[in-house]
Structure 1
Amino acid sequence: MRRPSPLRLAISAIAVVTALSLAACAPTSRTEPPRGDWEVVDVVSVHGTELRYLTIVGVEPTEPPATANARLAAFLDEVGPAWRMPETIDVYVFPDRATLRDLTGFDTNGRALLELDAVISIHAADAHEVAHLLTVPVERPLRLGGLWLEGIAMYYTWPEVYFDEATLAERGLPPRLGAWYGMTVHGNAQAALARRELPALAPLAHGNRGWNALADTLTYPAAGSFVTHLLGAGHTDLARIAAFRAFLEDANRAADAEGVLASFERHMGLTLAQAEGLWHIFLADWDEAAARH
């Protein structure tokens, strides 16, 4: 059973992410920064990456920028070295969703702007979107879909998303809404499996056509649960993460699903069908109640 690391618990105030925000958080290659009058209010350097925190001039942030940026810095320190560390990451923090929509055109709570190495968000410290900047394949065009891109981002951030209010209170973490009824990614996937609604993975392997045809309440937990199980429930396996990173880069060059499946087997050492079967066995034994204590 995968439990969040002590550092993850320490930074669990990172993202107040609801199902609505996740539904539109897919990373984008748009190259225009947000409109508006922005100022850099905090800068932290982490492993050579300059993490710049920006707010709108004259708008009081909901949390001290230095405090929020320190949480993102802790996340970068833990996660970044295994992935791509940009020279700079610009974090644009908006006061609300309406302002973000007016200044960017995106009706979302948060999004990663890949070509700018930037994040736009209404959350004071949105680690989920920062994770996209670190983990997305380098080469363009970007062909990989949500199963992989959201799966790896959820792997690093789902503990902050899914704990319910009672669990958050027990652990001394800030209260927030519990996405998808407050269950973990594994609990949601387990429930979908029991209802026979858990998505098959092969149709989601290449592109986003299959992904976009399904409800976000099925796809995001499934992706997060599968990738979490694949990379090692309960511990951080750096060799496994390195293999998965190599898979993402290689699979992004694939022209079709067959190419992605072949790349998966080549880098991960088993077929996607085999990995999916092991994941289903894991879900059958998952104890959602125990995961909260």
Structure 2
Amino acid sequence: MSPQNEPRQTKSQRQSAARERARLIREQQRKRERRNRMFTIWGIVAAVAVIAVVIGFIVANGIRGQVADSGASPANTNAYGGVTLVKPNQLATSPASGDVNVKDTQSPTASASASGAAQPVPHGVEKAASGKPAQIVIFVDLACPVCKNFEASYANQLDTWMKDGKATVEYRVTNLLDGSASTTNYSSRGANAAYCIANSAPDKLQAFLKSAYEQQPQEGGEGLSNDKLKQLASSAGAGDIGSCIDNGTYRPFVKYLTDQGRADGVTGTPTVFVDGQRWSNSGDFTEFAQKIISARK
């Protein structure tokens, strides 16, 4: 039938057809809008995923990755990375001494070696001057089970010598067990946390070390998280050092002092010296140290 012969639509039919066309247009528009919304949502999801990957990479790099060779020194430490307790919970205080760099580690020299000793004595380890307390220096690693046992066995005796003015106790907190004791470089992160506390709350360091040993994780696992380290620091009364822990502020410093220790023959922990004499890690430490302390003039 030709168009001329088609029956003319009524007004009602024309209105109905117009409504149907409008409905189809609206439906197409809704489909386009839904499609555009989906594209937008998936775009946002993709962007969030990319950001998460970047953040994860940054965090993982901070936990497992490379650490700068140079960085800031915390306050209340000596030139070789030691923090010295002169009394229980009382550190010898000093201002921060500027940046350190791994390239500045020193090789053992005659002046840094015990005369006739088979192994060198680390820099800064020596017999205390006459009339002064004996110098006890302990290289530790917070992931080291033997260090934990040493503290459990001898912490009270160390406190007694300090209270009586017989000895000072210097800790050098290393990262020697990174890569072996945990999968997240816990040794470095734990040492960094210790130096964050030494820097800003030195009277809380001993309590933090005690708690860290008491909650020492099993070897070979992930180690304590940064959040757990912050919790231990807070429980010890160190205040807010979260950014210092999360940023790894003193990890280059830990790297430096550990490398200096290696250069000085310290390859395991605990490594303990009393007035420059190295304990063999066998026998009773109290007996070994007491003989040296009693012989002082």
**Normalized against structure 1, the TM-score is what?**
0.23
Q: Point out the structure with max Rg over C-alpha.
A: 2
**Normalized against structure 2, the TM-score is what?**
0.23
Q: Which structure is higher in RCO with an 8 Å CA cutoff and minimum separation 6?
A: 2
